[in-house]
Amino acid sequence: MMRALCSAAFVALLLQPAGAMAQSSQFKGWAAVSRELSIRLAPQGHPFDLDEFLPSGSMDELLGTWTTFGTEHRFRNGTPNALNMTIWHAALAGFAKAVGQSCTSPRLMFHERFLTTLHTLCAWPAPAAKEEGVLLAFWTSVMGYNAGEQEYAAWRDFFLREYANQPATETVAAMTFAITMHPSFLLNR
Amino acid sequence: MQTVSRRDVIRLGAFGAGSVLLAGTGPTVAADPDGDPHFFLLVVLDGGADPSYMFDARPLSMTQAGKIQNYLGEEPGVWTGRNGVTTLATRLVAPLRPFGDRFSVLNGVYMTPSFDGHLQNMNFLFSGSPFGGDSFIPHLNSPETGRPPGSLDAVLPTDPLFLNVNNHSSVVPLQPNALEQLAERLRAADPPRADDVLGRFVRSRMAAAAEGQGRMAAGAQRMLASLDQAPDVHLKLAALRVPDDHMAPEPRAIALIAECFRLALSRSAIYVLHEQFDVHDADQAKLQPKLFSEAVGKIAALFRALVETQFDAKRSMLDVTTVLVASEFGRTMRAPEMPIHATGTNHNQFANSILLGGKRIRTGLVIGASDLVDEKDTPSKAHLAMDPALEKVMGRPIDFTTLRVRPVRPDAFDIEDYLTIGSVVNTLYAAFCVPKARYRSNGRNLPTAAVLDGLLA
Amino acid sequence: MARPRLRRAQLGVVVVLALLALAGTKARRGQMLVNPATAQPGASAVVEETEGVLEGASLWQKRWWIDRTARLLRGGEGLGPEDDLAALLPLSKERIARRFMLDERFGDTILDFNLFFLGFKSDQLKSASAYDRTVFDFPNAVAAAQALLKDGDYFKLFDLEGPFYMAPLRSEPLDEPPQPGDEGLTLAQLRSKAMREIEAVFADALALAQARPAPRLADLCKAVEALADSGQTLTPQLHRAFDDAEIFALIRGEVLTRPLEMLAKVAEKACDERTAPAAARKSLLEGLESALAEIKRAFSAIVEFEPDRYQPKSVPEFKRFALSAFPTKQKWLSFGFEQGMALGNSSTNFNRKRAAYVLKRFFCDDLIPIGFESPQEHVAGVHGSQTSCYACHHKLDPMAGFFRTYGAYFFDYARSPDIIFDDLASKDRVLYEAVWKAASKLPAWNIGYIRSARFQSYNSYGTSMGDLARILRTAPEVKRCLVKRLHEYIVAEDQTIDRGYLDYLTREFEAEAIVNASRAFKSTIVRLLQSAAYDQRDADPKRCYDAAPGSLPGEGPPCRVAFILSKNCAQCHNAGADDEAARLDVGSWIPAPDGQRRIFRHLDDKLAQLSARDSLARVIERLSSTDASVRMPKGRVMAGDERQELFLWAQEELARILEQTRP
């Protein structure tokens, strides 16, 4: 019987499908990410138009989309690949830079509560900017609670350590970028 | 009788026309100038193109006998392969004559024998299953071929196709308008960096997320792997030169594809002709001479552009690219209930016609044939079993060693006797050194479909 | 990069890894903060829930849950600065969910889900606070969402005939360049111009009929006949001012065709030389008056949807078009313009594409895995009468019959001698429909939802769209499918769900829906939001996180195995099967003859229950055989990884039995 089982195990290997891959989370898509950022950061009724940060028009379709026309809708282009990671990187780097630049010359319109947090953070590297409350407020403003607590801790510790004396504009941009490039921010559950 | 506005029917696909703008002012240095570059271009005639207007024509006597429609109204000529095999071809293929030594003609190719739907057969072309599965396109880009993979599996400079395949996440549309702005923006932006402290931190969080058990972890892992390739893709896209918008669509497409190949951005490209090939309606069918005149003109323009566009200082694009031109199926000879002079045609998955050429392919050959060559020809019992109404021509049995049609009239249908799309794809696999484990079979529990060794250079 | 194949590891190793990961997480949590500025207690504090729903959950986790739920139930809009998170934290999950359901944006969520259910979800319903015009194309989705917000009849989702929600008319310029004389006009102005032109044509004819002295009857007949025959000219003249979706509505509403058709009939009769002149004039005059009135009525109703008059800001503000203003007498189908494109019916397809859509979207009966390669089993004729085809076609073809009079773009040709298809070919309609005539007298048509090929009493027959809607409303499979889709929408599309858990959710839903479908639907949402699967940050799609209340471990095969069986095998191997396949019921889990373990009900050819060992050995053999006559599932394509999972499970079970029975 053991021989039969070994044979069966061998057969099981033959059953191994070529190309079988674990089911993977996909990107939320540009529309969903834009909406999340707008709800969290923009004044009510004045959502961000983040398309300016896309490296090109119609690139949003390459970041994960339901929208099509003339056929049943499936979610397309959401699986991470080299091209859409390049686009996400370029777009979110641009957005992060704009947030950082808001320390000196605002480009985006934010709601009051986030502006308060941002103004405090823009005093970086002053001690007031490094307080736990400010950092947590900034993190939750951008990320919400999408990521686990340990991710916030890792992010906080990293910036307190590696950006301890960097200028505010650069630090805030880097902080924003690190949050928005996080899988918990970009991927759909 | 009610009528339907043509306007909303003719706005097909609703994706808008896609054409490509890219003019090369000269080749950039190829990404792998000393290597053995090998790329793939798939030209798809979407909708079921009728081979009888190209390389599998029929004599007028057959039309006069009411067997097959022919709105060209001319006797076809003989197209002779270097292997001495002939086929009838209409004058509409004339634009391809200058390139007759750059491709081979495969007639009588079986698609999925069991379904005649567009989507099923298009799925079958790509994946070997009528309901979709893994497409062959990414396999050509796999490291298991022994070649460094391109950053993307394929680019699509035209409107996409409807498919149910699982593995086209790296088959991406690259539209012309997007390209112009994209290259410029990326030149102005910093590519992702792995060597700076922020880049390392971002990666570390992806790596941490990738340690889990679930789909988020799997997604994070893909993000990480893709981010590792992103700097390369960023630089390549930034290096893409914006096309000259005065170029005709096909040369522009080839120029774009050439850039993608030269930069190792992509292994393959898919170019789709969305003409109205699906001519069930008689009025549409009558337009076929004009339709095929334009379509063949485009295919010829693609070949010309492949020949005239340099890949590098020594080689043209066609020297480094294998080209496949195919539709998802052919068409019936006529529709049964319509008069012969005013009939449309339906789908025929038993006799597709394919052009295969370029690198690693022995060109100038004619391989395979379909039956019912004229009004006197009678079907085999195998044909009658599959097509009792005799609406379709069907491929004839073939000797896979000599690649000659076998002069037999089988009583029963056995798919292994015939030239199938499985064999064509396996031949492509062989040309690209894809491992045999990927090869297609002609059916469950059947051996792999024969590679057309005589077609490989 | 290939993902490490943790799934090939032994179960114990996986458990150990999971425990280590959890320990690591807890260790990292020890560093957590306290932030008085945001009034958050220590992140690892345990929340005492009055309703006991979140015992042991951290505040951070609960905030995540709240934010995620807000995003889900408020049309994609999660927590923002105006939200009082502190006020929500003490509440139970149910109370939080029901609070969010009172938000105006919940209508968008329901509309979005309805579109998901129908297979036409988009990234967003709105752009810059205006609803995307394609959303209006699904009237059953809109009607059901509106009903749910008022605790009305949510099952309007299954009504295939009903209202029409015209979108605000287009304001962006059309793609085509303006025709001579139209340059410089806004689209609204162009619409107005085009409609006035059409009205003027009819008015001129009417003026001729009303003129004093009266024109010669022959001249009047000529004018009316010319008008009746002018469709080819008037149609593009009118349509030039509208986009494709609007033209679709104009055509389906028969705005021009019906008045012109009516005039043609009137002229044919009145201008017959046997008709008395006075009667002829009267008839022609009345015909022209009626035609002009119809045109004007339709145009007046359309103008109500000019964008400066109509821009709904929420789902309740979606306005129904007054269908009585359209000349057509046909009921308005819920299949709109986009579905007309997506679900085209060619002259050779016999509505199978539409049937497959209904089965897939409403019944969750995805026929796709059925596939076969043997050309001897080629489909012959309009019905898959060959045995291997029968598995699909015995369901597909009867369902297709509901669409037999609908041609291109779902236009109803019931009044027409011919039917025109999406490939522009046409056929004699009566001959075409005859394909669905039944061989027997009862039912007269072989049209319906077929559950059993043998026992007609199990099936639901009908002939019309109304019948199909009735079937959808009453079929238990549809309600189960609705719940399943809701699980996919809320949790994840690829998340394995325990069959018993799905049964429980469906049972609860059905029981509550008898009273009120909308409330039942909301309660089901709440149950799903309270599920363990929804609570996962990194769910394993192959794991079942929830089970039916009161179910015990061991009451069935492992959840994932049960899921695979139900997906690939249960269609044939179930207790209600007609044929030999009923000898194995993969939905059962009964005591084996030895009384020591449990196994499927699996009978031998003498109808005696097999032992667990023999049953599993047969399953293993059928899964791994290369003999087409033996290999299972028969005539179907099973995903390789699922076959392997099932095989490995059966093999492990068998190994355990053999180990235990070894002397």
Residues A37-78 have pLDDT tens digits of 999 999 988 999 898 898 887 788 889 999 888 888 989 889
B89 touching A (Cβ < 8 Å): no
Summarised one tens digit per residue, pLDDT across range C234-250 is: 999 999 999 999 999 99
B230 touching A (Cβ < 8 Å): yes
Point out which residues pair with B316 in neighbouring strands.
B310
- Tell me the domain boundaries of chain C: 187-310, 343-474, 552-663
Q: What is the average pLDDT value for chain A, to the nearest integer? A: 87
Q: For residues B198, B203, B204 and B205, what is the CA-based torsion angle, rounded to 10 degrees? A: 100
The answer to whether the CB atoms of C538 and B217 lie below 8 A apart is: yes
Spatial CA neighbour of C199 closest among C247, C225, C237, C250: C237
The answer to whether the CB atoms of C628 and B280 lie below 8 A apart is: no
Percentage of chain A modeled with pLDDT above 90: 70
Nearest Cα of chain C lies from the Cα of B222 at a distance, in angstroms, of 7
The answer to whether the CB atoms of A22 and B215 lie below 8 A apart is: yes
Chain Cα centroid distance, residue B135: 12
| Per-residue three-class SS string for C561-613 | HHHHHHHHCCCCCCCCCCCHHHHEEEEEEEECCCCCCEEEEEECCCCCECCHH
Residue B5: the pLDDT is 39
Apex B265 CA angle, B261 and B271, nearest 5: 60
Residue C647: the pLDDT is 87
How far is C427 from C256, CA to CA, in rounded Å?
A: 24
The answer to whether the CB atoms of C68 and A29 lie below 8 A apart is: no
A82 touching B (Cβ < 8 Å): yes
* HSE-CB of C520 using CA atoms within 13 angstroms: 21
Query: Phi and psi for C370 in degrees, rounded to 5?
Result: -70, 120
- From chain C, the residues in CB contact with B445 under 8 A are 626-628, 631
Q: How, if at all, do strands B321-327 and B404-405 pair?
A: unpaired
B165 touching C (Cβ < 8 Å): no
Beta strands in C395-551 (DSSP E): 418-420, 426-428, 448-449, 460-461
Percentage of chain C modeled with pLDDT above 70: 86
B327, B347 contact by CB (below 8 A):
no
How far is C33 from C41, CA to CA, in rounded Å?
A: 9
Let me know if residue A32 belongs to a domain: yes
A170 touching B (Cβ < 8 Å): no
Pick from A83, A84, A172, A182 the residue to mutate for testing the B interface (most B CBs within 10 Å).
A83
How far is B353 from B327, CA to CA, in rounded Å?
A: 8
DSSP assignment of C345-414: --TTTTTHHHHHHHHHHHH----TTB----GGG---TTTT-SHHHHHHHHHHHHHHGGGTTB-GGG-B-T
Six token digits for residue C404: 């037999």
Closest-CA residue of C relative to A71 is C342
Low-confidence ranges of chain C (pLDDT < 70): 1-57, 367-391, 441-442, 553-555, 626, 628, 635-637
Cβ neighbours for B107, distance < 8 A, ≥ 6 positions apart: B51, B55, B56, B87, B351, B353, B366, B367, B368, B369, B370, B395
Q: Which chains are adjacent to chain A, needing at least 3 Cβ pairs under 8 Å?
A: B, C
- From chain C, the residues in CB contact with A137 under 8 A are 35, 37-38
The answer to whether the CB atoms of C28 and A12 lie below 8 A apart is: no
Q: Provide the residue range defining the domain that includes A47.
A: 24-186
10 Å Cβ neighbour count for C28?
A: 15
Residue C552 to residues C336, C501, C549, C591, C596: CA-CA distances in angstroms?
47, 12, 9, 15, 17
10 Å Cβ neighbour count for C199?
A: 14
When CB atoms are compared, the residue of C14, C378, C424 closest to B113 is: C378
The answer to whether the CB atoms of A132 and C77 lie below 8 A apart is: no
- State whether residue C137 is helix, strand or coil: helix
C25 touching A (Cβ < 8 Å): yes
Q: For residues C399, C401, C402 and C405, what is the CA-based torsion angle, rounded to 10 degrees? A: 150
Cβ neighbours for C52, distance < 8 A, ≥ 6 positions apart: none
The answer to whether the CB atoms of C539 and A189 lie below 8 A apart is: yes
Per-residue pLDDT of chain B (457 residues; tens, 9 = 90+): 333 333 433 333 232 222 222 233 333 444 554 478 999 999 999 999 999 999 999 999 999 999 999 999 999 999 999 999 999 999 999 999 999 999 999 999 999 878 888 988 999 999 998 888 899 999 999 999 999 889 899 999 988 888 888 888 888 888 766 677 888 889 988 899 988 999 999 999 999 999 988 999 999 999 999 999 999 999 999 988 877 888 888 888 888 999 999 888 999 999 999 888 999 999 999 999 999 999 999 999 999 999 999 998 999 999 999 999 999 999 999 998 889 999 999 999 999 999 999 999 999 999 999 999 999 999 999 999 999 999 999 999 999 999 999 999 999 999 999 999 999 999 999 999 999 999 999 886 688 999 999 999 9
Instruction: Based on DSSP, count helices (H) and strands (E) in chain C, helices before strands.
Output: 23, 8
Six token digits for residue C166: 């015209």
B444 touching A (Cβ < 8 Å): no
Closest-CA residue of B relative to A175 is B198
Mean pLDDT in residue range A96-111:
94
- From chain B, the residues in CB contact with A55 under 8 A are 181-182, 185-186, 189
Spatial CA neighbour of B344 closest among C349, C409, C424: C424
Nearest Cα of chain A lies from the Cα of C633 at a distance, in angstroms, of 14
Touching A: B residues 243-302, CB under 8 Å: none
Q: For residues C238, C241, C244 and C250, what is the CA-based torsion angle, rounded to 10 degrees? A: -40
Q: Which chains are adjacent to chain B, needing at least 3 Cβ pairs under 8 Å?
A: A, C
When comparing pLDDT for C443 and A79, which is higher? A79
C476 touching B (Cβ < 8 Å): no
Summarised one tens digit per residue, pLDDT across range C495-546 is: 999 988 999 999 999 999 999 999 999 999 999 999 999 999 999 998 999 9
C404, C351 contact by CB (below 8 A):
yes
How far is C25 from C61, CA to CA, in rounded Å?
A: 13
10 Å Cβ neighbour count for A18?
A: 11
Six token digits for residue C117: 């259910």
10 Å Cβ neighbour count for C33?
A: 16
User: Tokens 């630090």 appear where?
Assistant: A171
Six token digits for residue B52: 């009888």
Q: What's at B423, amino acid-wise?
A: S
How far is C274 from C549, CA to CA, in rounded Å?
A: 80
Q: What's at C51, amino acid-wise?
A: E
The answer to whether the CB atoms of C79 and A18 lie below 8 A apart is: no
The answer to whether the CB atoms of A136 and C35 lie below 8 A apart is: yes
When CB atoms are compared, the residue of C25, C624, C639 closest to A150 is: C25
A16 touching B (Cβ < 8 Å): no
Let me know if residue A18 belongs to a domain: no
A144 touching C (Cβ < 8 Å): yes
Touching C: B residues 406-425, CB under 8 Å: 413, 415
How far is B73 from B286, CA to CA, in rounded Å?
A: 11
C394, C578 contact by CB (below 8 A):
no
Nearest Cα of chain C lies from the Cα of A165 at a distance, in angstroms, of 23
Let me know if residue A10 belongs to a domain: no
Q: What's at C191, amino acid-wise?
A: R
Overall number of domains in chain A: 1
Residue C339: the pLDDT is 95
The answer to whether the CB atoms of C341 and A73 lie below 8 A apart is: no
